[in-house]
């Protein structure tokens, strides 16, 4: 696996939380953030968020900036989460006009990514879920979800663009419809071979998933792993921390299974460094992954295979001490 690293552009800027809506750092313009991303060793791609970073009117100018810095458009993430009209749902809103708008926004971003030479749309419908019992029709909502995503998928297919569905168990809603690997895989498989799944490592940790197993599940049932977002957390919330700051052996296992299953997509950083320096946090995350990758190359995939064949936690503990800590 030849790792391709990417960064969601806003990670390098002034990220905000619910306590200080103006953020804790100075605001950088997009040119500064792009230049910072390009200066990080290994970064070759940028993920752009619709309305935040890219609109149909700014495609040409953004592509010119990426080309100047020798960066590719790794994906575009349509904004279905941060605007008032999505507050009660985007693809599953009971308002048919809002559902239509969600499809239109996605199709606009499909056009944008095509114009920029990319082929991936990352969909995170964060507002599509529910908060209280006896407050929603789960069957109707999923029917709407399949209908609207189906429209997006049909349009994407005409443009040779892939859709990747990103799951998250909660936040901003208490329950999300795309909550886990398996339920997202069900929808992806129903929508066609050009619709797949994004694993955000932090989202998976919050869902009490083992990411290595999730990678294998997507490989076994349709080769559906299209995209990866990397961050870290304490498993209770989507903290979006520096990769490797909490989890170590899990990340080594993730890289092992990505290589074992032949993953060829982007390894993209998706973090919210509220107070820490964004450039430093992203650079540190990529350096951590690069170091784990070098260890994997040194010990070899065959050694990993032998370790799994033993099914011996003591042998695993020894391996971690000898290779992941001592070096």
CB under 8 Å to 307, separation ≥6 — which residues?
Answer: 315, 316, 319
pLDDT tens-digit series, residues 230-239: 999 999 999 9
Is residue 20 over pLDDT 80? no
Tokens (6 digits) for 31: 């040119």
Q: What percent of the chain has pLDDT over 70?
A: 99
Phi then psi dihedrals of residue 277, to 5 deg: -60, 125
Pair of tokens at residue 256: 């092992």
Phi-psi region of 122 (alpha: psi -120 to 50; beta: other; left: phi over 0): beta
pLDDT, one tens digit per residue, over 36-89 is 999 999 999 999 999 999 999 999 999 999 999 999 999 999 999 999 999 999
Model confidence pLDDT, tens digit, residues 241-251: 999 999 999 99
- Location of structure tokens 């149909």: 56
Q: For residue range 292-314, list pLDDT tens digits in order.
A: 999 999 999 999 999 999 999 99
* Residues 6 or more apart in contact with residue 207 via CB below 8 angstroms: 167, 168, 169, 179, 180, 181
How many residues make up the chain in this entry?
327
Query: Looking at residue 326, what is its pLDDT?
Result: 65
Relative to beta strand 129-130, strand 175-176 is antiparallel
Q: Number of H helices and number of E strands within the chain?
A: 11, 10
pLDDT in tens, 156-191: 999 999 999 999 999 999 999 999 999 999 999 999
Whole-number average pLDDT of the chain: 96
Q: pLDDT, tens digit, for every residue of 94-115?
A: 999 999 999 999 999 999 999 9
- Omega prior to 21 cis, within 30 of 0: no
pLDDT at residue number 258: 98
Domains of the chain as residue ranges with CATH: 4-300 (3.20.20.150)
Q: Which two tokens stand for residue 163?
A: 């859709």
């Amino acid at each position: 696996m030849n790792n391709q690293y990417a960064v969601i552009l806003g990670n390098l800027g002034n990220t905000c939380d619910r306590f200080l809506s103006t953020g804790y750092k100075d605001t950088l313009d997009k040119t500064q953030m792009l230049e910072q991303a390009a200066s990080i060793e290994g970064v070759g791609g940028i993920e752009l968020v619709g309305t935040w970073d890219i609109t149909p009117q700014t495609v040409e100018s953004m592509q010119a900036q990426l080309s100047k810095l020798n960066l590719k458009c790794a994906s575009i993430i349509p904004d279905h989460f941060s605007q008032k009209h999505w507050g009660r749902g985007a693809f599953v809103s009971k308002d048919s006009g809002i559902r239509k708008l969600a499809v239109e926004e996605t199709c606009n971003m499909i056009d944008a990514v095509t114009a920029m030479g990319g082929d991936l749309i990352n969909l995170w419908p964060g507002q599509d879920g529910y908060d209280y019992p006896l407050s929603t029709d789960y069957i109707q909502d999923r029917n709407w979800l399949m209908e609207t995503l189906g429209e997006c998928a049909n349009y994407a297919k005409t443009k040779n663009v892939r859709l990747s569905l990103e799951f998250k168990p909660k936040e901003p809603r208490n329950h999300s419809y795309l909550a886990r690997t398996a339920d997202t895989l069900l929808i992806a498989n129903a929508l066609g071979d050009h619709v797949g799944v994004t694993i955000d490592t932090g989202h998976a940790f919050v869902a009490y998933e083992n990411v290595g197993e999730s990678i294998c599940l997507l490989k076994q049932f349709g080769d559906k792993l299209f995209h990866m977002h990397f961050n870290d957390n304490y498993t209770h919330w989507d903290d979006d921390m520096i990769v490797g700051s909490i989890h170590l052996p899990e990340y080594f296992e993730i890289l092992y299974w990505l290589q074992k299953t032949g993953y060829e997509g982007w390894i993209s950083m998706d973090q919210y460094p509220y107070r820490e320096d964004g450039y430093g946090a992203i650079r540190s995350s990529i350096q951590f992954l690069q170091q784990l990758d070098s260890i994997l190359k040194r010990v070899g995939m065959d050694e990993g295979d032998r370790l799994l064949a033993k099914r011996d936690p003591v042998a695993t503990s020894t391996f971690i001490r000898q290779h992941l800590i001592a070096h």
